Amino acid sequence: MRRLKQRFGTFLRDEDGLILAEGLLMLPLVIWALVAMFIYWDVFRTINITQKAAYGIADLLSRQKADITTTYANGLQKVVNFLTPGGHPVRVRITSLECVAPTGPGCTAANGSYKLLFSFSPENKITTLTEANIQNWKNGKIPVLNHGESVFVVETEVAFKAQLQTAIAGFMVGVEDAKYGQFIVTKPRHRRLCLQGTTTCT
């Protein structure tokens, strides 16, 4: 009996193979951490480069003195593609508007309305907006504008797809395929941004 106890005590004190056992226990956590870092990095990278591309487009448009042409507007899609290399396809929509509020504090949720100057999506990748669609933007999406004041909005949309299988991304990390976008409101450096061929800027 004493001999059995000694052998059992020796077995309990034996540390051979301990590192291997700890490694096997930690291996799933290490794999999860590597997968999570890769997917999270890809998500934030996609959002970041899309945001920079949207601000770049907005800056280009804000400097235009004359009405932009359809060719110029369609060319902006190539600019976006250049600014988002190797990423997920980015779609763009440009909407220019003007506040109409002869009385009151300007275009607020309860006063005035927006006049649509134009809505255009390079290469027709996103459905364009109507004047009725943009009235909802008075509820906080666009700052209060004075009568006759104009801004334009650059919207981007990117359909994010995880580089690993969706099941792995969603189950293990909590990141699923989704659409991310930017909504950039910019005031033109000149009076307003117009598109050639439209009659709303006359």
Q: Is the dihedral of CA 54, 55, 60, 64 positive or negative?
A: positive
Report the percentage of the chain scoring pLDDT > 90. 51
* CB distance 57 to 76 below 8 Å: yes
Copy the structure tokens of residue 92. 């763009």
CB atoms inside a 10 Å sphere around CB 17: 8
Residue 90: closest CA among 163, 166, 177, 179:
179
What is the number of domains present in the chain? Answer: 1
Binning pLDDT at 50, 70 and 90, where does residue 166 land? very low
Task: Tell me if 159 is assigned to some domain.
Answer: yes
Tens of pLDDT along 102-153? 998 999 999 999 999 999 999 999 999 999 999 999 998 999 999 999 999 9
pLDDT value, residue 88: 78
Tens of pLDDT along 54-101? 999 999 999 999 999 999 999 999 999 999 887 678 999 999 999 999
* Cα distances (Å, whole numbers) of residue 188 to 2, 138, 169: 92, 19, 41
Q: Which domain holds residue 97?
A: 2-186
Task: Tell me if 163 is assigned to some domain.
Answer: yes
Most confident of 25-29, 88-92, 97-101, 156-160: 97-101
pLDDT value, residue 107: 94
Task: Tell me if 198 is assigned to some domain.
Answer: no
Task: Tell me if 193 is assigned to some domain.
Answer: no
